[in-house]
Every structure is written in C-alpha cells, then in structure tokens.
Chains A and B, each alone.
Chain A
Amino acid sequence: MNEKIRFVQGNEACVEGALYAGLEFFAGYPITPSTEVAELLSERLPQRGGRFIQMEDEIASMCAIIGASLTGRKVMTATSGPGFSLKQEAIGYACMTEIPCVIVNVQRGGPSTGNPTHVSQGDVNQARWGTHGDHAIIALTASNHQDVFAMTVDAFNLAETYRTPVILLFDEVIGHMREKLVVPEKGEIAIVDRLRTSVGKDVDYHPYLPREDGRLPMSDFGGDHRYNVTGLFHDMWGFPSNNPRVVKDLLHHLVDKIETNVGAITRYREHHLENAEYVMISYGSSTRPAIHMAGHRREKGERIGVLELQSLWPFPEAMVREKCRGAKAVIVVEMNMGQVMRQVKACVDAPEKVFLANRIDGKLITPNDIKAVLRVIQGKGV
C-alpha cells in the first residue's frame, strides 16, 4: 500500500499539511468541530520532536503560539466559533508585532454557541475584522482535502513571508468529511523558512526596521539579539511610541505589506468558467454542490461555471471583477447571509447582477438550492 495515499478527514489533511510545512509547536483547546486537529497533533508532533500543549482556554492557546513563534518555531492553533472569538485580541497582537502564526478556524454555526456540530461559513467577516483597529489579514480556504493540505502549507509560507498571522477558514463539512489525500513528496511544494537577520552578534539589531523590500528579518528569542516586542505602537527598536509619525507609518506598513501584495496572495480555481454567462462564486464546502450543478448544466449546453475563491482576505477584487465581467448574472454560493456577496457587489462592474444562493440552517447547500435561485434569476419562476 502506498503510504502517501490516505483516506482522511479534512482536519487530518490540515494536520498533514502543517507537518509538511514544518510545524513545530501547537497550542490548543478542545472545541467542535476542530478538535481532531489538536488530537492528531498531540500524537504526531512529539514523534518528530515538536511540542504540543493543551492550554487552559482559547486565549492562552493563541498567546502561547505567539510566544513560541518568537523563539523561532513554526506555530499553529486550531479552533471553531466561540474559540475564534476568544482569540481575536491576541490575533491583533500578532498583527501588530508581526509574528508569524497560523490559526485554523473550522467554522460552525453561530452566533454564540450556535450550531456546534453543523456547517456554516459565518466567520468570513470576523476573520477580516474580528480584532479591533485597522489592520490587514490573510485568510485562505479550501473545498477538498488536497487543497486543504496545499492551503495549509501555503498559510505557513505566507505567514513567514509577510510576518503575519494567517487564518485558515475551513468549515465543518470540510473538517469532518473523509476523502482521498495524496501527501506530496518532500520538495514537491516549496517551503518558506523563517527569514533571520544577518546582523552579527554585538551589532545593533533593529527588529522593526524593514529592509528595502519591506521584509523584516527576525532574530529568535534566546539568540544573540535582545530586543523589545510590544503591542503598543513602536519604533524600529520595538520600543513604545505615540509619536504621530511613528504611529501613522507603522499602521501603513502593517496594512500595505499585505494589501499591496493582493495579487501574490490571491489563490483561486476555475471550474467550467470558460465563456460562462452565469458565474457562480463560492469557497469551502459550498463550492462542491456549485461545481456539481455547473457540470450537469454544461452537459446540457448551458454556459455556467464556478469561480472558487481559495484566498478570501485580502479580497481578490481585481480578479473577481475580471472574471465577472460581462456575466448575465453572478451568483455567490455561500452558507451565511451574504458575507462574500457584499464583497463581490462592491468590486464588480454590475453589482445589480450579483445574487445570493445561500443556506444558513446548518445543512450543506445543495445543487437544488442553487437551481432554485438560478430559476428566479432566469425568470423561470419560483
């Protein structure tokens, strides 16, 4: 049997991706439907010398991975719903201090305790704006386990490249469904290692002075350079400052380093999209029924396809505008009350042609649910 071909849950595919990317430290707290990530890593991480800790709550888990990242480790935590809310303050801290980390959110129904064992995609906007203050964030998602693996590896690479928290926004269906995963050979997917400073021992190291290319080489805690890290606005030494110029420049840096690289961060797939009159936009598990329906309609000669978003933040506005140009209608298929639909409306040439096909009852949206919306758009009645 080929050990590289596996039949796994999405949560397990995420674990495989994280280990492939070089995960060394995980802190977590049990919560449905993400718990399997912690369970699997409690076994797998120490087998390769990595460290797992079950913390006292979601807040502490987030804080612990930030601390571990500063010592030079690749780190991750995983959660769902209420736990994602609890992590928000520390996610903002990682944004402000530019500490690489990966946060998995296997989405369940909310608000509050909500619908713990059922699917939702209701945290899209929380991933963007959950922590207070202006900031930028990267969020990736996936609709199948091979992509869960790839996006998890990507999340670690982007976290290191941009020195930022990266959110993996999966959902309950993806997390718990089982399907085939082929674990790539070592080297098949490039791994981005931490960029460490070349500044020598006993030479002044400025932890927050960007290089010409905008990147900030790091120095591990415990190493040769002693410096300060704070969630306050800070100068190039990492020392607190409320100098208006320092505040403004740092905020611009934090936002611009991600927003100006939206092209490099954007990830998507096209399914039956060539010459499509009707463009469905989806992401995560709701992409699957959309692809299914588009395939059937194509067989009947209808020009309908799916644009699958794999990066949700920064929102790929230019790409979406381009793909929707000239479409008779754009149907956003998602399991919330229109969180991505609003983003699409805001960026396309014809927002009046953007419609929502959604489901918010904890059940995976079906091809029939989407067909019903399409019939109305096409004037074929309800």
Chain B
Amino acid sequence: MAVKDYLRERFFPHMWCPGCGHGTVLNSLLRAVEQLGLKKNNIVMTSGIGCSARISGYVDFHSLHTLHGRALAFATGVKLSRPELTLLVPMGDGDALAIGGNHFIHAARRNIDITAIVMNNRIYGMTGGQFSPLSGPGKKATTAPYRTIDNAFDVVELSRAAGATFVARTTTYHVQEATEIFKKAIRHKGFSVVEILTQCPTHYGRKNKEGDAADMLDIYKNKTAKIGSGALADDPSLLGRGIFVDRQAPEYCEEYGKILQAAMGEVGR
C-alpha cells in the first residue's frame, strides 16, 4: 500500500502551519506502519490536545482524539481491554510532559505495550507560543517575554528512569532514521518512547531567532549526532540521537493475562 492509503484524504487539507514539522512526523510514522505491514483495523491511534494531537484525525486507523494530557490514560484502557491491538500515541511536549506527565511516567512504569511519540517542538503551538516543560531555560515565549527560567525535562532520561523499555530520539531532518526507529518502537513489546524533534517556525523559531523551517532543520542536522558516534564524543554539546534503551521486561497486558488465568482457575477448582 502507498502511504496515502493510510490517510483520510476527506479530512485534508490539514491544519498545520507552513513549515511545521508535524507532517514529516506523520510521513515517517506511516512509512513505518506500511513497512511493518500492519493492518489498519488493528491500529488504534490515541492523541491528546494540541497541534500534534490532530495527527489522529488524518490517519485511517481507529482514532481517538481525547483530552489534553490524557491520551495515554485512554490508550491504557483500550490496550488492556484489547491487548491484540497496536496502540500509537502521538503527543506534544506540553501534552505529554506537563499536563500529562503523571500518565506518562505511570504508563512507562507499567511497561504496557504502547508506542508513545513525543513530538517535541519545545512550545505550545496551538495556543500561540507559550513555553513548555521541554523549552528549557533562556528561551523566549509569549509567557516568557524576558526569558524562561524553567529547566527542561530530558525525555530520554525521564523515560528510562520511569521504566520505559524502549527509548529513542530522532528529528524531522532524519526522516529515514525516524522511520527505522518507529518500526523498532512499534515492534518492541512494552512501553516505547520516541522523542522526535519537530520544528515550529511559527511560534518557536521566530521568537528564538532560529529562522525558518529550513534553518531549523539545519540545526537538527548540525546540532545532533548519533549516539556512539565520533562526532558526539568529540563534541558533547551535541544532542544524541538513536536508541538509548532497548530491553526486555514483563509487559503489563501479558502479566494481567496471567492474573486472569490464575483467577479463572481458582473459580474453576
């Protein structure tokens, strides 16, 4: 199938700004789904609120556009109820880690088989450019006219510490790498986190003098490096990309399956 067969063309044109990275994320993700040969009827995409969350409306899967920050809580209900389904949960940075931070760490702790995608543009785009928990200090935003003083989460370290069994980072510049990472994340049995840096030229780039979309993609190209690479060893100021965590651990729904067996056996005796 072609990538466009995974889209609901009826709902286009999409609502993202010119230059937004989110369409690139969608492209990389759908290529991963296509290459894995997943059936559309077996995929549920659950999203929260924000620019990123609108991705669920454009895909021809079962799609659940929920509440700000709560996508993983809804997804947990879907997954535990029907463990055979594949759960994709794209979220924005504020969505996933400010208002949804609690759900994020607990979904990771359970190691429930869900693929969480943090579409990190370091800003609240839909509401017009307020700083997020991933903006970091020294940035300009509509709620930080002087500069931000809030520290940022490191999504990789947070996810690792919370118990995610697959954690990766990529960017919208590295589209083929992103597809490969999405494929591995979806195939991974357990809670997978993919942080993908995605440019918001409208609200973040402009205010922080990072230029237009092409300039911002250049930054992703020049200021990141593969983990384990010589470039990263030479220049620790670069941001690492790649797969940081990939380990096996008991998955939540499988463990609940054992509870079911035990409980039903007890009644049978």
Which A residues have a C-beta under 8 Å from some C-beta of B? Answer: 24-25, 27, 43, 46-49, 51, 53, 55-57, 59-61, 63-71, 73, 75, 89-90, 93, 221-224, 226-232, 237, 239-240
Expressed in whole angstroms, the Cα–Cα distance for A69 and B82 within the complex equals 11
Q: Which stretch of B72-80, B148-156, B214-222 is in the interface?
A: B72-80
Add 5 more A-B contacts to A53-B76, A90-B67, A227-B62 (CB < 8 A).
Answer: A46-B259, A48-B264, A55-B73, A60-B70, A67-B77
Q: Give the residues in chain A near B41, CB-CB below 8 Å.
A: 222-224, 226
Expressed in whole angstroms, the Cα–Cα distance for A67 and B259 within the complex equals 21
Per DSSP, are chain B's interface residues mostly helix, strand or loop, or mixed? helix
Instruction: Answer yes or no: B85 CB below 8 A from chain A CBs.
Output: yes
Could you name 17 residue pairs across A and B whose Cβ atoms are closer than 8 Å?
A: A46-B256, A46-B259, A48-B267, A53-B77, A56-B73, A59-B70, A63-B76, A64-B73, A64-B77, A67-B77, A68-B78, A68-B81, A221-B85, A222-B82, A226-B40, A232-B65, A237-B10
B57 touches A67 (CB 8 A): no
Which B residues have a C-beta under 8 Å from some C-beta of A? Answer: 8, 10-11, 40-42, 44, 46, 56-57, 60-67, 70, 73-82, 84-85, 102-103, 106, 256, 259-260, 262-264, 266-267
Q: Give the residues in chain B near A27, CB-CB below 8 Å.
A: 77
A90 touches B70 (CB 8 A): yes
The 3 closest A-B pairs by CB, nearest first: A67-B77, A64-B77, A46-B263
* CB nearest to B74 among chain A residues: A67
Expressed in whole angstroms, the Cα–Cα distance for A230 and B222 within the complex equals 39
B76 touches A67 (CB 8 A): yes
A226-B63 contact, Cβ under 8 Å, with A60-B73, A70-B78, A73-B81: yes
Expressed in whole angstroms, the Cα–Cα distance for A239 and B65 within the complex equals 10
Expressed in whole angstroms, the Cα–Cα distance for A44 and B264 within the complex equals 10
Which of A63, A230, A231 makes the CB contact (< 8 A) with B73? A63
A47-B42 contact, Cβ under 8 Å, with A53-B76, A70-B78, A73-B81: no
Expressed in whole angstroms, the Cα–Cα distance for A89 and B66 within the complex equals 11
B78 touches A67 (CB 8 A): yes
Expressed in whole angstroms, the Cα–Cα distance for A93 and B74 within the complex equals 11
A231-B63 contact, Cβ under 8 Å, with A60-B103, A68-B78: no
A68 touches B80 (CB 8 A): yes
Which of A46, A53, A89, A228 makes the CB contact (< 8 A) with B57? A228
B16 to chain A, nearest CB (A): 14
Q: Give the residues in chain B near A239, CB-CB below 8 Å.
A: 10-11, 57
Q: Give the residues in chain B near A237, CB-CB below 8 Å.
A: 10
